[in-house]
Structure formats: C-alpha cells, structure tokens
Amino acid sequence: HRALDDARATVEVLHAALEALAPLGVTHLEDLATATDPIPARRRAKSLLADPLPTCPGVYQFCSAAGQVLYVGSASSLKRRVRSYFTAAEKRRKVAQMLDTTVEVRHIATPTLIEARVRELRLIAELDPPVNRRSRSPGKQPWLRLAPGPQPRLALTTVLPTSEAAGAVGPFASRRSAQEALRAAESVLRLGRWDGAHRRVRPDDAPATADQAAACLSGHIDLVAAPLLERISALAADQRYEEAGAWTHRLRALLHGVLRAERARPLLACPHLIAARRRQGGGWELIAVRWGMLAGSMATPPGADPRPGVEALRASARIVERPERVGQGASVEETLLLADWALDEGARLVEVEGDPQCLAWPLGSAARHRKVLDAEP
C-alpha cells in the first residue's frame, strides 16, 4: 500500500513519544488523556505506587514517610483510582500537598464496593486522617427527642438509647441546624412557654401537645410541617419575605433531620437482613446487616445460583448484639449508607428477621416535602 511508509513512520513517532513520556509516569493508555496537564514530574512519577494494587473494590490509604495515614478513600478499582491521583491535575491544595508527601499506598481489598465504603467510614473515624474532612466525629451529632419527665419538652442529645430511636429525629449535621429544627417544632407543638407567635401555653394543654410531639417525632411530620407551610405562605403574602425565609430555613432543617431518621430506623430496628443487587457484569452482590451494622458481604459469580451464597453469608456474617445506644456499634453514617444500598430501588430483600413492620415507610414521610428539601438554602 502506498501509505504503508507513512503508517510505519507514525508508529515510530508514537513509540518515541511514549518512550519520552514514560519517565514522567505515563505508562498506561488512560495516562495519555492527562499527559499535558500541569502535573509536577515528581508527583506523576509516583503513579508507580499504584502498580501493585489490584483492580477489585477496596479501601486505599495514603501514608507518609513516618507511617502516618494521611488520607483514606474507597474505589471500585483500587489501581485505577489511586493512579488517577498522580496523573491528573489536582486543584485541592491540601490533597496536592498530601500527594507530594505520600511514599506508600496501603490497601484493603473487599468483595463489594459497599463494603469498601463502609470500611472507609470506619477507618476515617478510627484513624482521623488529617486530609479527610467528612465523617470524623460521627458520635457527636445531635438528635431531637421528647425528653421524659413531669413537664415534657423537646430537647437535643448526642446520646440516644436504641429503644428511643423510633421516636427521635436526626442526627443533624450540626448543632446549629438541630437548634433550628427544635425551634421549628417547638413553635407548633408548644411544649415550651411560647409557640412562635409569643403566646403562652396553658398547663392543661401539655398532655395533648406531648402526644402530638411524640407522634410528630415518630413519623407524622405533617403535624408540624403543614402549620409551618401555612405560616410561611401567610408571611410571604404579607411581603414579609425575610421572616418567611427564616421559617423556611427552620422547616428545612427539621425535614432533613426527619428524613435521616426515617432512613436509619428500619435497619436500626432489624436484627438480621440480607439484601442483594445485580452486578453490572453478571452475578449478585449480597450484604448482611445486623442492627444497622454491616456484618458481611460477598459477590456471586455470573450465571451461578446465588442461594448458596446467601447461606454462606448468613453463616459467616459477624455476630452483632443489639447496641444500647445509637452509634455504639455502627455510626449512623454507616447505617444510612447501608439503607441507601439495601432499601432503594434495584435492591432485593432476601431475608428479614424481626418485626417486618420495622421496614414500613411512614405515610407522612418527610420525602413528601421534596420541594422544601430541595430548595436553595
């Protein structure tokens, strides 16, 4: 062919270009896409740290020369994800500094990605890596509950007995958002001395409002949301937009707390659950959850009967005793992560022990108020 010489010359030029880029850490096809990115040569050369890693799901840890774990992450492919840190331009200053001081990448291979995500949460809570920003204090997040006593009242707590989880809201991301939610609920339920309109509450109203508060916190959020939405509409109609915005912000904080509680409660109350999802390449991913904690996971081969896998997972899953307080065994973040995996569309519940009603979704769910939840803060 008359173009054969041109084709051979192109191959030689390509080989020469790849040879020139190799010392910079460009050793794989995917590296070519970022070969011209402004990445320091020293950092790009560290992409070799990813070579020993497997391509399976797992957790990776960037470590300094002193052995300190600087950062913990999870990925569906350990090799590909770790390599990408060193072969793509990094705009986050703290992460860029971390990459420059990393001398070792440790890893834990897992059978499923969801187990890798859970292990990531646990390691961040255990090791407190300086570069990780989320999930570092999972046990300090406040809950909103009805405090017992002769004078019932709404109160915030960071220690919630498991037996009270069905009647509490949260946890909230911050104490400030919890206080906003408390004010929203208190303005309607009137368990304090004022109801949001500066009207005092009569003592003989306390039992009725306490029952309303208990119902609200256990799933009937419309008892608070509906009056607040009417108040917000009235304020907006009077062109009192700042006040309407303030009450919208408080209602949104309350709804977010209720939504998190609704997600966590089913798994917190379930002693044993096995759920399954189809794998993209065939087969199934299986997880066992006990009292809101991941007790084990596994993947079945494509085309294989998954039932022996279910039996094996049930037998090998970690034994978990019911914790005395929420967050004692597993963080709420772990429980919420598992709820998103096991209770959303696409998942199949294979085994459930305990009262099946614990998996029921309240009719007055906070998810009904999606317009308020999705509004800009």
Q: Model confidence at 28, in pLDDT bands (50, 70, 90)?
A: low
With vertex at residue 142, the alpha carbon angle to CA 139 and CA 143, rounded to the nearest 5 degrees, is 115
Q: Over 50: is that where the pLDDT of 280 sits?
A: yes
- Higher pLDDT: 220 or 139? It is 220
pLDDT at 197: 47
> CB-hemisphere CA count at 13 Å for 200?
3
pLDDT at 25: 57
Q: Over 80: is that where the pLDDT of 330 sits?
A: yes
Query: What distance in Å separates the CA atoms of residue 141 and residue 150, rounded to the nearest whole number?
Result: 27
Query: What distance in Å separates the CA atoms of residue 25 and residue 223, rounded to the nearest whole number?
Result: 61
Determine phi and psi for 53, rounding to 5 degrees: -75, 145
Question: Both tokens of residue 310?
Answer: 């279910």
From start to end of 124-255, where are the E strands? Answer: 143-147, 153-157, 168-169
pLDDT at 198: 45
Please, what are the domains in the chain? 39-127 (3.40.1440.10), 143-196+204-265 (no CATH), 271-353 (no CATH)
Asked whether the CA dihedral 99, 105, 110, 116 is positive or negative, the reply is negative
DSSP string, 78-91: HHHHHHHHHHS---
Q: Over 50: is that where the pLDDT of 196 sits?
A: no
Query: What distance in Å separates the CA atoms of residue 69 and residue 62, rounded to the nearest whole number?
Result: 6
Q: How long a stretch of residues is the chain?
A: 377
Q: Over 70: is that where the pLDDT of 200 sits?
A: no
Average pLDDT over residues 98-112: 95
- Burial environment of residue 57 by CB neighbours within 10 A (0 to 12, 13 to 18, 19 or more): buried
pLDDT at 177: 95
Q: Model confidence at 61, in pLDDT bands (50, 70, 90)?
A: very high
Question: For 112, left (φ over 0), alpha (ψ -120 to 50), or beta?
Answer: beta
pLDDT at 88: 75
pLDDT at 374: 76
Query: What distance in Å separates the CA atoms of residue 158 and residue 152, rounded to the nearest whole number?
Result: 18
Q: Model confidence at 33, in pLDDT bands (50, 70, 90)?
A: low
Query: What distance in Å separates the CA atoms of residue 129 and residue 330, rounded to the nearest whole number?
Result: 19
Question: Both tokens of residue 341?
Answer: 């995996």
pTM for the full model? 0.83
Average pLDDT over residues 219-235: 92
Q: Dihedral of the CA atoms 289, 290, 293, 298 (nearest 10)? A: -30
Q: Over 70: is that where the pLDDT of 29 sits?
A: no
Please check whether residue 242 is in contact with residue 234, taking contact to mean a CB–CB distance below 8 angstroms.
Answer: no
- Higher pLDDT: 354 or 76? It is 76
- Higher pLDDT: 75 or 36? It is 75
Query: What distance in Å separates the CA atoms of residue 336 and residue 266, rounded to the nearest whole number?
Result: 10
Q: Over 90: is that where the pLDDT of 240 sits?
A: yes
Q: Which residues contact 176 (CB under 8 A, 6 or more apart)?
A: none
Q: Over 80: is that where the pLDDT of 331 sits?
A: yes
